[in-house]
A and B are shown apart, each in its own frame.
Chain A
Amino acid sequence: MPEEFLIAQDLQKSFNHINAVDGVSFSIHKGEIFGLLGPNGAGKTTTIRMLSTVLPPDNGDVVVAGHSVRNQGDLIRRLIGVCPQELALYPEFSATDNLVFFGRMVGLSGREARSQAQAILERVGLTDRAQGRVEKFSGGMKRRINLGISLMGHPELLFLDEPTVGIDPQSRNNIYETILGLKGEGKTILYTTHYMEEADRLCDRVAIMDHGRIVAMDRPLELKRKLGPPDKVTLEDVFLNMTGRSLRD
């Protein structure tokens, strides 16, 4: 039985009486890449915010490595790294400055932060732009540094919220390789994306969310098999089948 590193139990969150997340439960095994899929407004980002201690749940609980978000948020924050959907960077500073700064914020010493920043720059293929100001970077480079920041402090659990949105194939490939490398190191990853091929390729299991609820959860192969022959059915077919074809905000 694989070890459950994160357990979300009956998570609920509403804003102005509208349920953004409505009774979401799932668990992520240690060393697993877990995909959280869903159309815009399905509640993925709100769920990640609750999992990462930014938003307190109205109901339910999240337990990470035995620590509850209810009263042990500070212990959870020592274990997690978050790559947000937005490019949450300081554009006037260099790539190294950004990494070192966030390294200090996760509790690294100056020397540790600089050493990790160098290793991460190499990992995301930005060593030659280490001193370049982030505002001068291309979209792909910014995405890579956005991901790199979440790796500072060697977190055990990573929340990667659409890390490959709007970038070129080369940068996307670098990010795939980075993520698979992290999995190889035993990291646990929660991954959201709108690219179904990406989820199919990277994720061990996926959960499809819609209207704040999980409507399907299994291995991609199993989800495809439920709809038809797996070599004929794509994860996108499954996604559209579960969430419908009507347009979303």
Chain B
Amino acid sequence: MRAVHLALFELRSYLRDMGDLAFSLLLPITLLAVMLGAFGQQDQFNGTAYVVDEDNGPYAQQVIGRLKEIKGLDVRLISASDAESRLDRANITVAAYIPQGFSQRLSGGQGAQVTFKQRGNGGQEGQIVASIVRGVVQEVAGEAYVRNQVQAALSGSGTNPSDVASTVDGYLERERRSPTVGVREEDVGKRPNMLFLFLPGVITMFALFAVSLRSQAILDERRNGTLERLLVTRLGAGELFFGKFLAGLARGLAQVVILLVLAEIVFRIFTPVSFFSTLLVAALFVATVSAIGLVIASVARTREQASWIATIFTLVMSMLGGTFFEVQSGLLRTLSRITINWYANDALKALITGDGTLAKLGLQMAVIGGVGLVAFFVARALFKAVPEGK
């Protein structure tokens, strides 16, 4: 019971400390808003095609005109020197060069070539833009080929070449507007909400930050003597340790509850079952993190050491654990599986999106709880209220 009093006393301290509240609540909310603003509102692809037109002929104009008709694609015509300079500065990652003589070669029935200059693989946006440009160029080249072939076939037949050209262009235009082979898009569900991707990561990262940084406060208490003072009350060493564990749990849980309630008020993403399931997994994660905070407080000798250990630990766990984007590559992907954040984020995403239930998340909960138990016993073995004492 005294351990509970101790935890509630610390919880009061957290709730009345405006600086701590601002850090633990406003910062995650701001970060979530920024992430959603940056990535959450895109219903279609938006990109920019940087085109260097060294040809200035009719086919080059046709390519550029058709690119401009594509929704979401911003076409910027730049000079070759500007393109070089921007590529050098990594200001852009891909530029498409339409070479001199492009139109002349197509008119003459010869092959032509468009060049893409890119940094690395051009990045995700660059690859998509290059693919769009390539498609348009092939379309224009194909039409030129058909036009030339028909003209060649009918030459000498007495047909007026301009009539042939306008007839062919008419067919090509009709084919372009309503293609013979259509592509149908079938909607199989709502587009994944980016909130579902970011919210679990923000919750776990800030819980980890806040609770592991508590280790500094414990070191402060050890230094100013309040821990020792508590030891000479009826609070035994075990109760003191448990009280500190509960205090971390209460503090982290308060933060998580406020964030989840705010998320529900603003985004309406939970059912009652998913809300409490999410809260349960978050509580398990926070309990584990509270034990880890005590391990840090036990191994660190100074406040600064505790701060660095907590910060590095939090950043590594958050990055590898897929806080915002899942790690894709081989070794890092394997490493991400040994972080508790990955399991927590995975479980929270499943619950928030409604794809999972607690019954299906046994592995994730077992891993988080297992790590928590180990950390709890390690911390208990190492924890000292006074430097040389119990």
Contacts and interface: CB of A to CB of B under 8 A. Distances in A.
Interface in B223-267: 224-226, 228-236
Given A55-B388, A101-B9, A86 B234 contact: no
Given A90-B13, A93-B12, 15 more contacts: A54-B389, A55-B388, A55-B390, A74-B234, A77-B232, A78-B234, A80-B232, A84-B225, A84-B228, A84-B229, A87-B224, A88-B229, A102-B229, A105-B230, A107-B234
Interface string B368-390: 00000000000000000110111
B16 A105 contact: no
Contact of B226 (A81, A89, A106): A89
A77 B256 CA distance: 37
Contacts of A106: 233-234
A93 B226 CA distance: 13
Contacts of A77: 232-234
Residue in A74, A80, A105, A107 with the greatest tally of chain B CB atoms within 10 Å: A105
B226 A88 contact: yes
9 contacts: A49-B228, A78-B234, A87-B224, A90-B226, A92-B13, A92-B17, A105-B230, A105-B233, A105-B235
A82 interface: yes
A93 B388 CA distance: 28
A132 interface: no
Interface residues of A, number: 29
A81 B229 CA distance: 9
B13 A86 contact: no
A54 B230 CA distance: 10
Contact of B229 (A15, A82, A92): A82
Q: How large is the interface on B (under 10, 10 to 19, 20 to 34, 35 or more residues)?
A: 20 to 34
Contact of A54 (B17, B224, B235, B386): B386
A88 B16 contact: no
Interface in A69-121: 74, 77-78, 80-82, 84-90, 92-93, 101-102, 104-107
Given A77-B232, A105-B2, A56 B390 contact: yes
A53 interface: yes
Contacts of B233: 77, 102, 105-107
Contacts of A12: none
A74 B236 contact: yes
B76 interface: no
Contacts of B229: 82, 84, 88, 102, 149
B16 A92 contact: yes
Given A54-B232, A55-B389, A106-B234, A86 B224 contact: yes
B96 interface: no
B228 A101 contact: no
A173 B319 CA distance: 59
Contacts of A74: 234, 236
A7 B244 CA distance: 33
B119 interface: no
Nearest to B243: A105
The 8 closest A-B pairs by CB, nearest first: A88-B225, A86-B225, A105-B233, A88-B229, A82-B232, A88-B226, A55-B389, A106-B233
A52 interface: yes
Contacts of A56: 389-390
A102 B225 CA distance: 13
A55 B224 CA distance: 17
A18 B385 CA distance: 21
B197 interface: no
Contacts of B388: 15, 55
B107 to A, nearest CB: 81
Interface string A114-145: 00000000000000000000000000000000
